[in-house]
Structure 1
Amino acid sequence: MPPAGHSPIMRRRRLGVELRSLREAAGLTGDQVIGRIGWASASKLSRLENGRSRPDPVDVRVLLDLYGADEAQRADLLGITGEAGDVRGWLKNFPVMTEQQRGFAELEAGCVEISEYNPVLVPGLLQTADYAQVRILSARQVDEGAGDPGRGDEPETEVQARLARQGLLTREPDAPRYTAVLDEAALGGRAGPPEVLREQLIQLCELALLPNVTLHVLPRDTQVGHWYLPPTAFSLYRFADPLDPETIAIEGGFTDIVSTDAVALNRYKVAFEWLCTAALNASDTLAWLIEATGRLTEATPPSTVAFGPSTAPTQRRRASGRLTDR
């Protein structure tokens, strides 16, 4: 993987913030801007200012002319526009990428530091192919049970897309600093078949030896802070450009929230510090992972698991039917 560039998502957001600031400094409302430049839709400016669309350099130049931007501002913002719109060039780094994984990959691309916590899963940047496939197939069973056709990507394609992101951790010469707190539940018996968990533990042992990677295992009965219980999985991102705002991604199971809100960010930073303090340190974590791998190696029978399309296990149901039907 080539050296770090800029995160396309953060470039779009940065551009939007700067354009909004210029508009407000010029004393113009959104409707006034639309009226003066003759755009057909008011939502076009809104999407641009909120970083929700790929910017067209022609549109950005028109806005900069209207706002009376000076030469330094024009050069800076047109450069950011090029980086925000160069998704095709950016995607050359990833031979396979699905829509779901692209959002994560764009966030991670320009990072110098990533911090993650997950109470039930191994984070995507650390997953083996088989662990990722178990996660993907199990989630799709929920989609099917809810009557949702879900995503059209093949599971194998989504696995390869997730693995493509992992080159970030060994990128030369500027791999980001990566820290993760892994709850013991993420590596417990409910997470997958024994042979899948064993291979995942082996990979975690190898990743823990990388100079830019720090892993902490949080034992299940360890107290965090004053009996604090983190409600969700989350990831914190800090970028190479100090003017790109730090970002948090909150994983809600079936919906993810990405925010740059400073108050929310600081709360999760405090929570992450508490988690790191409560969890095993890096050397004790490696020892824990090695011991857990040994236990699974002794206990794992020959594999009988065939990965691929599967059906959900038979569940006992109440007489009133499925919860989704009620």
Structure 2
Amino acid sequence: MPPAAPGPFLRRRRLGIELRRLREQAGLTGDQVIERIGWASASKLSRLENGRSRPDPDDVDVLLTLYGADEELRAELTGITHEAGDMRGWLRNFPVMTQQQRAFAELEAGCAEISEYNPVLVPGLLQTPGYARHRILSAARVAEEAGDPDPEDPETEVAARQARQSLLTHVPRYTAVLEEAALGRRAGPPEVLHEQLVHLCELALLPNVELRLLLRDTRVGDWYLPPTAFSVYRFADPLDPETLAIESGFTDVMSTEADTLNRYKVVYEWLCSSALSASDTLSWLIEATGRLTGTAVESTVAHGPATAPTQRRPDSGRLTTER
């Protein structure tokens, strides 16, 4: 299945990388470029090269002329520039969207592979409306107590998160390591957890989705404890930069730095090799669903305090480190 078209975020990143490469190839510093084309601020070029601003086609054209880009490359980057600025066109893909959810929706668009881990929650792309609502309302209460109420309506946030989940019908490969704690009684009332477990069972049957459960007492690596939630995004076009998103509760960080990416890839390898296999994870989810409905379901999967499973690497989808 082909991935969806890349979003503006990815297009801005790609354009910025190409513009920086062309500038360095031309032997020009940022200050020299600003002086030659007469821009008032050096930060304008910096924002373009770092993908932090919506590119103006005229500005990009001036830079391409200065750098001596050939016609083929100019046509390609001109097209990317228009895609990077077409926020309204891209948002038409979603019935509802919010500022908070848009950042992740932009990053997810155009992915060939997404790998996720969260130490305490079910990842957003896998959450049911009920589970998501409890997460959003609890975070909103924290903001309210801190004197900084969230301006977004919680139900709109839930709907926006659900809109992002259409991604799972067309992303070629999605994998996630789930923590047993994310499905424990602290996460929500029984009916919410039951709905979430049923949903995960359904998702685990999709051919492009692989879920792996990490039992609470299973050792990871040399007693390693992952401190944050994170996601690694790979894109269909190899020239689009592989991206890491780190979730730290109230602040999200994005990075394309190879050294940082490599560390998180190693961690993900450890998590996958310690977690249950995809088939054992489905068995665990089915049994947990049965327990919540009062129905006994036989399973060979251990629960609670248990001996760590034999360390193994996943059969496919291995994240390799690159420099």
Q: TM-score, normalised by structure 2?
A: 0.88
**Residue 73 in 1 paired to residue 69 in 2?**
no
- The AA in structure 2 aligned to 1:164 is A
Distance in 2 (CA, whole Å) between partners of 1:143 and 1:66 is 48
The answer to whether the Cα contact below 8 Å between 2:109 and 2:167 also exists between their aligned partners in 1 is: yes
**Residue 258 in 1 paired to residue 254 in 2?**
yes
Corresponding position of 1:128? 128
Corresponding position of 1:99? 99
Corresponding position of 2:59? 59
Structure 2: 5+ residue stretches without partners: 296-323
Alignment of 1:172-321 (within 5 A): 175-298=171-294
Corresponding position of 1:320? none
SS at the partner of 2:213?
Answer: strand
**Residue 8 in 1 paired to residue 8 in 2?**
yes
Corresponding position of 2:165? 166
Q: Sequence identity, in percent?
A: 78
Distance in 1 (CA, whole Å) between partners of 2:72 and 2:221 is 48
Q: TM-score, normalised by structure 1?
A: 0.87
SS at the partner of 2:105?
Answer: helix
Q: Deviations over 1:99-140 (max 9, x none)?
A: 110110011001010000111000000000010000000001
Alignment of 1:113-152 (within 5 A): 113-150=113-150, 152=151
User: Aligned-residue CA RMSD in angstroms?
Assistant: 1.5
Superposed displacement of residue 86, structure 1: 1.8
Superposed displacement of residue 3, structure 1: 5.5
Distance in 2 (CA, whole Å) between partners of 1:6 and 1:237 is 12
Distance in 1 (CA, whole Å) between partners of 2:3 and 2:241 is 21
Distance in 1 (CA, whole Å) between partners of 2:240 and 2:21 is 15
Superposed displacement of residue 51, structure 1: 0.2
- The AA in structure 2 aligned to 1:181 is V
The answer to whether the Cα contact below 8 Å between 2:34 and 2:42 also exists between their aligned partners in 1 is: yes
User: Aligned pair count?
Assistant: 295
The answer to whether the Cα contact below 8 Å between 1:7 and 1:111 also exists between their aligned partners in 2 is: no
Q: Deviations over 1:287-318 (max 9, x none)?
A: 1001111111129xxxxxxxxxxxxxxxxxxx
SS at the partner of 2:233?
Answer: strand
- The AA in structure 2 aligned to 1:142 is V
Superposed displacement of residue 54, structure 1: 1.1
- The AA in structure 2 aligned to 1:170 is T
Corresponding position of 1:31? 31
- 82-91 or 113-122: bigger deviation: 82-91
- The AA in structure 1 aligned to 2:186 is R
- The AA in structure 1 aligned to 2:153 is E
State the 4+ residue runs in structure 1 displaced beyond 4 angstroms: none
